[in-house]
Amino acid sequence: MAHRLSLLPLSVVALGLVAGCSQTPGKQGYILDTALVDAIKPGVDNRASVQGTLGRPTFVGQFDENEWFYVSRDTRQLAFRLPRPSAQTVLRVRFDPAGNVSAVEKSGVERVVAISPISDETPTLGRNRSFFQELFGNIGQIGSVGQSGGTADNPDGN
């Protein structure tokens, strides 16, 4: 009996550790309702009806104000790691110049791109110089002792 009682705290601790390693789901952006999205028809709807059905867009096209985007993303996060996308839907609604819907397009998680930098340093153009070369590199470059440096207006220094 005492053996069973000693296993109880150990099993509670083990259960707590395993529960801490589970993935946490998350949702970002627009909450997509497929019935509402399917109700948007090209040639039938206009800006006002789209906004009435779907609400304000996540963002409007940067180069063309006749494109509205609704972005929905499902994520998973394990403990303290960054959330990673598990599903994504981008709904693109295009309007003609009169404000009527001309096209509705959907894309998914296949358009998500992972960008990983090469290193923690940003490459720059120029010479690679050490600290001491930077500190003492200009000695003797401007002028020598007893001579004044010239200016652009008066190259003789007078």
Give the range among 14-23, 91-100, 102-111, 131-140 with minimum mean pLDDT.
14-23
CATH number at residue 97: 3.30.1450
Q: What is the dihedral of CA 89, 52, 94, 56, to 10 degrees?
A: -60
Task: Grade residue 143 by pLDDT with cuts at 50, 70 and 90.
Answer: low
Counting every residue written for the chain, the total comes to 158
Tell me whether residue 147 is in a domain: no
Q: Give the SS3 label for residue 153.
A: coil
- Total of domains in the chain: 1
Q: Is 31's pLDDT higher than 70? A: yes
Tell me whether residue 27 is in a domain: yes
Sign of CA dihedral 58, 60, 62, 64: positive
CA dist 156 and 7 (Å) reads 93
Residue 45 vs residue 78, higher pLDDT: 45
Q: Which of 126, 127, 87 is nearest to 107 (CA)?
A: 87
pTM (2 d.p.): 0.58
Q: Give residue 76's domain range.
A: 23-112
Tell me whether residue 155 is in a domain: no
Which one-letter amino acid corresponds to residue 79? Answer: A
The arithmetic mean of pLDDT across residues 39-64, rounded, is: 92
Tell me whether residue 136 is in a domain: no
